[in-house]
Structure 1
């Protein structure tokens, strides 16, 4: 047995109100199932009516999300790239230590144990940033120490000091550049998220009134068509006004009365 499902989200409320608006416009006065008072809240010729304002605020959320999406994507990509650079930096360092190019103690400049066999944790954005910062500061500290002359560690009889060999593939400067880019994207992402949240708050403020109107319209429409003796026909007529019916198989009643066809589609 089909049952009515009332709109209970901003999206479903908006669909119901748009359906009622469009059906009013396409109906003869005698067939209009909602009241004039309800229509005044749907009349999109009035930019200050409830539906016009609800559409605007909903569109503002969509625009904010659209503006935020590329920033979020760039932030994710840059974080992944920075993680790769940090990983490669430590792998190259390990290979250099194996070849005798770097002192095992060089690991300590980058916040690692001198006998470490694994690279730093890079599983979160915070961990990546922390490891990248240690690469940048550690490379500068190692350069300063080794340029000042660090005694050879291999016990070579000729004595002398370790020549400073800067890291490469990637360099610390490349890591620093990505780190700065990531910080810039984080700031932009935070600003974009704040904008989206503010737009959502505007929708939230209007939602109770819009929801109450949508439910009231559903009740009014069903009452208007209550004397139709054919239940299927009655539901089809109500569906044109945005009332949704759910069947046991989960399908919804469409405006045409065919449960398999799509529901009402309305444009702002």
Structure 2
């Protein structure tokens, strides 16, 4: 015997509800397999649920589009920050800048390693330190580093920082839209189950068996056949 199973994706839930609502729209009110109250509830909920899914998709696509641009800004900022630190270390090795000045940048006096800039948080942190450190050293009378100048580093860092904040905001918006969508799934399942129960009760006396299943399917009921099971005729 085939068995029914509730939809397990949002699109499948919407499809099931749509079939039921559209079937009711095409039917005379006296021929409905579900109550008018359930029909009205399903139609109203479908509009909200479908709207929530559409909004989530729009948020996610907007976030993804911005992310692709943002990754280029991350790459540029990382490259210029790393390059600046390498030039600073070379200037120190050539005794053009005193080693103690590294403390202005938050850099270790024990080695000339470039900090790990793999993560965006690291780029954000070290970019801020390097810019502030160079500005302080120059204010104290130091000769500015060139190629790259800190002004150029700051241009790419500021672009990255703006993109970073925007990406965080977009992620937050997407997260909230997903939470709203997820919060509606339980209600969707309850309405679908109610529809299915009413429909199967309405058509329980119809024979042959496959005709009854097809009438139920018209209202969005989903049936599955077990492995190697043949449809009864």
What secondary structure does 1:41 align onto?
helix
**How far apart are residue 11 of structure 1 and its match?**
3.8
Query: Which fold has the larger relative contact order, with Cα–Cα distance below 8 Å and residues 6 or more apart in sequence?
Result: 2
Tell me if structure 1 keeps the 8 A contact 2:73–2:160.
yes
What's the CA shift string for 1:107-128, capped at 9, x where partnerless?
4432222342421021322211
Q: Say yes or no: does 1:211 pair with 2:206.
A: no
Q: Is the 8 A contact 1:7 1:215 kept in 2?
A: no
| Corresponding residue of 2:120 | 125
Distance 1:108 1:217 in 2: 70
Whose helix fraction is larger, Structure 1's or Structure 2's? 2
Q: 1:177 aligns with which of 155, 163, 177?
A: 155
Shift of 1:214: 1.1
Equivalent residues, number: 228
Q: Judging changes above 3 Å, is the alpha-carbon distance between structure 1 residues 187 and 115 closer, same or farther for their aligned structure 2 residues? A: closer
Deviation at 1:141, TM superposition (A): 2.7
1:27, CA displacement in angstroms? 5.6
Tell me the residue number matched to 1:55.
50
What TM-score, normalized to structure 1?
0.67
Structure 2: which 5+ runs fail to align? none
Q: Deviations over 1:13-56 (max 9, x none)?
A: 3221112123334567787533333222345xxxxx23223323
Change (3 A) 1:30 1:140: same
Please say if 1:167 is aligned against 2:146: yes
Quick one: distance in 2 between partners of 1:57 and 1:111?
A: 47
Q: Deviations over 1:156-199 (max 9, x none)?
A: xxxxxxxx35132x332222223322332344334434444554
Structure 1, unpaired ranges of 5+: 44-48, 148-163, 250-256, 258-268
Compared CA separation, residues 114 and 197, structure 1 to 2 (3 A): closer
The farther-off stretch of 172-181 and 95-104 is 95-104
Equivalent position to 2:87, from 83, 92, 97: 92
The TM-score normalised by the length of structure 2 is 0.75
> Is 1:21 aligned to residue 21 of structure 2?
yes
Aligned twin of 2:221: 243
Check whether the contact 1:3–1:247 (CA below 8 A) recurs between aligned residues: yes
Distance, in Å, in 1 between the alignment partners of 2:96 and 2:211 is 85
Seen in structure 2, the aligned counterparts of structure 1 residues 77 and 245 have a Cα distance that, compared at 3 Å, is: farther
Partner SS, residue 241 of structure 1: coil
CA–CA distance in structure 2, aligned partners of residues 192 and 165 of structure 1: 37
* Of 70, 74, 78, the match for 1:79: 74
Measure the CA separation in 2 of the matches of 1:102 and 1:247: 78
- In the alignment, the residues of structure 2 paired with residue 24 and residue 222 of structure 1 have an alpha-carbon distance, to the nearest angstrom, of 15
